[in-house]
Amino acid sequence: MSNETRGLTLVFTGNGKGKTTAALGMALRAWGQGMKVLVLQFIKGGWKYGELKASEKLGSNFEIRQMGEGFIRDAGPEGLNAHREAAQKALEEARRAVREGEHDMVILDEINYAISYGLVNKADVLELIRNKPPRMHLVLTGRNAAGEVIELADLVTEMREIKHPFAAGIPAQKGIEF
């Protein structure tokens, strides 16, 4: 971890496309600077091949760990426990990363959504943010970011959907959605 950096807490929220995508771009920029990046997925499952393949190619300084179980809306009532378990596991990984302090940037992908859906406790996440090493960048994505999370953050952008191809019946496209 570099000495001169002041670690920031960033939040990408809102209903528009670009939250996870912006976090990935941030990760690429940091990786380009020689920083060590960890991406923890709290919700999304095994379908985002583009970034998974990219992270394999980028080597050990760019790691994506998937624990989420796909989109929550696909889950039946009994599926919710599996989602909660996966999100809790992601939270544990996040705590370990914050405790060990070996990464320059840790991205908690869809954690806001996981909070708002009750998969992780808001209080646990707030504690995680407060405990982060001073030089670590922490990026939290997902819609419905909690007011207290926004309060603690240094930078918050709301991605607002103005237009989306799904609304026009265009299916998910390689390189864009996955």
Binding site for its own copies (CB under 8 A): 2, 4-8, 10-14, 16-18, 20-35, 48-55, 57-58, 104-105, 137, 150, 153-165, 168, 170, 173-176, 178
> At its nearest, how many Å lie between its own copies and the CB of residue 4?
7
Task: For its own copies, give the closer residue by CB, 51 or 83.
Answer: 51
Task: For its own copies, give the closer residue by CB, 77 or 175.
Answer: 175
> At its nearest, how many Å lie between its own copies and the CB of residue 148?
13
Which sign, positive or negative, has the C-alpha torsion 12, 16, 17, 18?
negative
CA distance 116 to 103: 26
> At its nearest, how many Å lie between its own copies and the CB of residue 102?
15
* C-alpha distance from residue 52 to each of 15, 39, 132, 142 (Å): 23, 10, 26, 19
The tokens for 105 are: 């940037």
> At its nearest, how many Å lie between its own copies and the CB of residue 77?
32
Task: For its own copies, give the closer residue by CB, 123 or 170.
Answer: 170
The kind and range of the H/E element at 165 are none
Residue type, 12: F
Task: For its own copies, give the closer residue by CB, 59 or 77.
Answer: 59
CA distance 20 to 26: 10
